[in-house]
Amino acid sequence: MRRYTVDLLKVLIGLGISVVIFYFFGINEVLKAIRTVYYPFFFFGFFFYFFRNIIGTWRLKIILTNLGHNISFASTFKAHMGGIAISDYTPSRIGYFYASLILKQNENIPIHSGLSSVISSNAVEFTFKVLGIVFALFYLIWIIQPNLSIEIYLILTLVTILMMVIAISLILVLWWERATNFFAIFEKIPYLRKILQKIKEIQIESKELKPIIWKIIVLSMIIWVLKGLTWFFFFLSLRIYEISLIECMLLQPLITAFSFIPLFPSGIGVQEIGIIFVLGIFDISPPLALAFDLLLRSTILFNLLGLFFALSVIRASNLQKLK
């Protein structure tokens, strides 16, 4: 009960910060920008977001098939979207790991197999995200705005370090067997012993993925491009023409990195600050930046489909407990 209270408090604080931000920079100006949205471009952006999830599902299915779990594309899509939906409401978007529970409930796939699949796809994607952030920082600092203040350098550097830590941690968990040796001292603690055992099981299955790692990399690159296209058309829908497709591909991992700061679910409040901060470098006004943020947040409406899949699994699990 205490955990749910803390989570609810985080949501309320995040929403409170967002309300203050929108109020401070002029909610009327933000709504005025939203009313000028050119919907054909907006729906193009939404199409690429949908297609990105199709490719993400395909990537997950390829990994599961390689591990010996040949399930349907539809079932994989339910797990993928369920994980995406839960990630919208969890700090650092860690909720995507819930996809492994959906796979367990719907297809009886062992948890360690589901986690191996989810972590493998995310480890590669996080690596691309970190590379994108590094390129974005180089582009912003040395090409766009070479005279940024030391405070801005510090913020961007800290965000980059956070993403690098997450990416390296995922890679180590997957493919470095000695990673668990560092925590062997904690094996005497029952709860941690179970976690270490799960990590070892994940590492065993991850070895089977080495022959298809190139497929995971290619599909992750396609997803990166599709994310850039989503942002590009969202910008165009607001008549923001100053940012190119290449710049969208660089800004997307940098700005969304703010949502991985583990303070509030889905980075609410923090991502808004990041968007104002980064787009301000391109001389885009805060109200217009916040209007763009609302377009990004609108993808949650599509993710509600995944929330339905996730909640159905929770409901089925509760019924089994009652039996």
SS3 content of the chain, % helix, strand, coil (to 5): 85, 0, 15
Q: Which residue has the higher pLDDT, 24 or 56?
A: 56
Mean predicted confidence (pLDDT) in 27-45:
93
Instruction: Locate 310 and state its tokens.
Output: 């996730």
Q: Which helix (H) or strand (E) element contains residue 128?
A: helix 111-139
Q: 184-188, 203-207, 315-319 — which is least confidently predicted?
A: 315-319
pLDDT category of residue 152 using cuts at 50, 70 and 90: low
Instruction: Give the Cα separation of 42 and 236 in Å (integer).
Output: 8
Q: How confident is the model at residue 225 (pLDDT cuts 50, 70, 90)?
A: very high
Among residues 298, 287, 305, the alpha carbon closest in space to that of 31 is found at 287
Res. 138 pLDDT band, cuts 50 70 90: confident
The pTM for the full model equals: 0.80
User: What is the structure's pLDDT at 99?
Assistant: 87
Domain boundaries, the chain: 2-322
Distance between CA 142 and CA 135 in Å, rounded? 11
pLDDT attached to residue 89? 72
d(CA 140, CA 138): 6
Collect all residues with Cβ–Cβ distance below 8 Å to 318 and sequence separation of at least 6: none
Percent of the chain with pLDDT over 90: 26
pLDDT digits (tens, 9 = 90+) for 287-316: 999 999 999 989 888 888 887 777 776 655
**Residue 50 is encoded by which pair of tokens?**
């949908």
The conformational region for residue 290 under phi > 0 = left, psi -120 to 50 = alpha, else beta, is alpha
| DSSP code, position 67 | T
Distance (Å, rounded) from C-alpha 299 to C-alpha 40?
16
**Count of Cβ atoms closer than 10 Å to residue 199 Cβ:** 20
Q: Residue 261: its pLDDT value, please?
A: 67
Q: Confidence class of residue 135 from pLDDT cuts 50, 70 and 90?
A: confident
More confident residue, 56 or 169: 56
Q: What angle do CA 106, 107, 112 make, to 5 degrees?
A: 105
Q: Residue 201 burial (CB < 10 Å; 0-12/13-18/19+)?
A: middle
Mean pLDDT of all residues belonging to the chain: 78
Q: What's the pLDDT tens digit per position in 93-118? A: 677 888 888 888 888 888 878 887 88
Question: For residues 276 and 312, what is the distance between their CA atoms, to the nearest angstrom?
Answer: 37
Question: Cα 110 to the chain's mean position, in Å?
Answer: 24
Top-confidence residue, 210 or 47: 47
Provide the residue count of the chain.
Answer: 323
